[in-house]
Each structure stands twice: as structure tokens, then as C-alpha cells.
Amino acid sequence: MNNAEYAHKRKRAKVVLEDGRAFCGFSFGAAGTAFGEVVFNTSLAGYQEILTDPSYKGQIVTMTYPLIGNYGVNNEDIESRKPFLEGFIVKECSRIASNWRSNNTLGAYLKEHNIVGIEGVDTRAITRHTRRQGAMRAVISTEDLNDKSLLKKVKASPGLVGVDLVQKVSCDKIWQYNRDGKIKIVVIDCGVKLNILRSLAERGCQVTVVPAQTCADEILKLNPDGIMLSNGPGDPAAVTYVIETVKKLLGKLPMFGICLGQQMLCLALGGKTYKLKFGHHGGNQPAKDLKTGKIDITVQNHGFCVDIETLNKDEIEITHVNLNDNTLEGIRHKKLPVFSVQFHPESCPGPHDSHYLFDQFIEMINGHR
């Protein structure tokens, strides 16, 4: 099919934000209508890992890099069992997938998993608008192209505040990722990325993954040496059952929290969370280690954050801050073997500056043992 034929056959689609701003484009994924909070991701590559990050449940992702899909998709670069995001917005989706590992195009992959995608959109305008106005509800549709009708629908759609999305992405039974190793780690699955599990296994850990609703007693019966609180989507304050579990586990075992895991840990320690204006999404977020002065370029994906002022400074040490907005990026308990970070040290996709945190977790466990 030549370019003229392709342009003629493209199906029109539309994005409408809850403040009435509308953007026209063309469908390149599944047909249909999808609702979610629109956010932007500043990564230049790694779109398959972004698509399969469960932390994006409830969100429509806009990629700021203009050309997406040029290396296709493969069976290796996935971070969960399927894509969990609600929709995908790009400037241009490549029709050609050129990579020796590629076994499908991005458009076909979205259709296979029933994810609505739209291209030909001014993604720079969406990004600038959400930076000014904040993340907001949105709709993508290939079926209804009427602005007034779509605006009415999006205003009736749910937001993210107060909504528990963890139950929609967590596993439904206990399973073993890695059976070999001298250190037993239990991962509380709130939407865990596979590279967190790989990173633990590479360091000689037995890795057992448990559903988010697993109680503290059941976890302790597994006789772990340490607990990992995983990343995940949505409002941490709504995931009350995990917060209660963490409260009961504090002081009993070493604990490492990542992203949503940090937020729930801090809530269990008496802190409070709030919603960021447009969140941190992408692979170029600078986080400063306050002890060493070292700055890591980090991968991040979160729309909520812990309020530093609500933490008990007699018990909790602030270890990392975000250099863009001075928000909290890491803590360590002064008495208990517990620490956490707001960014993603497993780095899929993104820079590898923060891999050392997994080594610190292992050292903490060995010291505790």
C-alpha cells in the first residue's frame, strides 16, 4: 500500500479532554472508545515497557517523542502479562517495524490487546496543555467524533482520586518467580514490573509473588527474609488493605518499597499523600541522593506523592528529592530496616543509575539476618 492509499484508508479518531480541548487524529490501534486520565511520558524509547507497566492502569499515555513504533514489538520487552493502560496517543506511529527481534507492529499489538491508539495528534500541544492545566480526564474514540457528545461522556467518567486500581492489576494467587537462591523475598504485587523480579533473582534471591490482598500472617508463614512493596497504579490512600498489612509487617522484616510501594509505606508510617499536578512519567527524572550528593537520572511513573511535611523526622530520614520540583523521592527509617524510593530502580525502560538500590536491599537483609 502506497502513502496515498494508506492516508485514504486511515480511520479518523478524536481525543477530548474534560476541559473541552479537542484533538483530531487517526486510529492505529483497536477501534472503540476509551476513558482515562491523560498524562505525558518523556521517554525516547521503551514504548513496549511503558505499555505493559501496570502503573498506567486508568491512564491514557501521550508520548512526547514524535516517532513511535519504529522497532516494533517483541516477546521479551514486556513488563507484565498484558498492557494495562487505557489508551495510547502518539504523533506518528511507524508503519515499518525494523528490528531483528521484532515479531509484530505496534498497531497490531494494540489491536491484539484491545487498546485504543490515536496518531496524527499534536502531542506537543497536549503536553503543554496538561503541564499548564494539570492531568485531567480524557476520552479517545474512533466511534464518536462529536466534541459535545464526547465531552459529556468524559465528564461522567471516573477519576483516579480515591479509586483502588491495585485490585485490577494484582495477581490472583501466590506464584513463584524464582525458586533458587539463599535469600527469600516476598513481593507484594500491587502491579509489579517483571524487571523488579529479575533484578532480585539476579542477586541470588528466591522470589515469591503474592496478591496485594494477602494478609501479614500469610506472608510471615512463607518465612521470607525480606519484603518488597511493588509499584502500581492509582491513589495509594485507597489501597487500605495493603497499608494495614505493611503496618503489621513493620519491624518484623527488612522492607524495600518502590513507587506506589513508597507511598503505602509512608502512609503506614503516618504520612499523607497528595496528587501531583501532572505527575512524573518518563526516563529522565533527576533524583538527588542527599547523603552523597550524587544525582541519578531515573525512570518514574506516578501521579501521587508523599507530603514531606507529614513525615515524622525523628523516625524517618529523607534520602532523595526530585530536582525538578523538590518532591520526595526516597526515605529510610532511622530505627527499622526499611527504605523506599519513588522512582523505578529496575529501569525498564530507562537509565541504569539506580540498580545499586537492589544491592543495598540485599545488604540490609544480610545485616538483619
Given 259, 266, 305, 348, the catalytic residue: 259
Among the listed residues 177, 171, 228, the one whose alpha carbon sits nearest the alpha carbon of residue 198: 177
Question: Which cell goes with 147?
Answer: 466534541
Query: What is the distance between the alpha carbons of residues 333 and 229, in angstroms, rounded to a whole number?
Result: 15
Residue 266: active-site member: no
- Quickly count: other Cβ atoms within 10 Å of residue 230's Cβ: 29
DSSP sequence for 182-213: SEEEEEEESS--HHHHHHHHTTTEEEEEEETT
Residue 171: active-site member: no
Residue 346: active-site member: yes
**Which residues have a Cβ under 8 Å from the Cβ of 66 and sit 6 or more positions away?**
90, 91, 92, 123
Contact indicator for 323, 314 with CB cutoff of 8 Å: no
Given 18, 49, 86, 346, the catalytic residue: 346
Residue type, 172: D
Residues forming the active site = 259, 344, 346
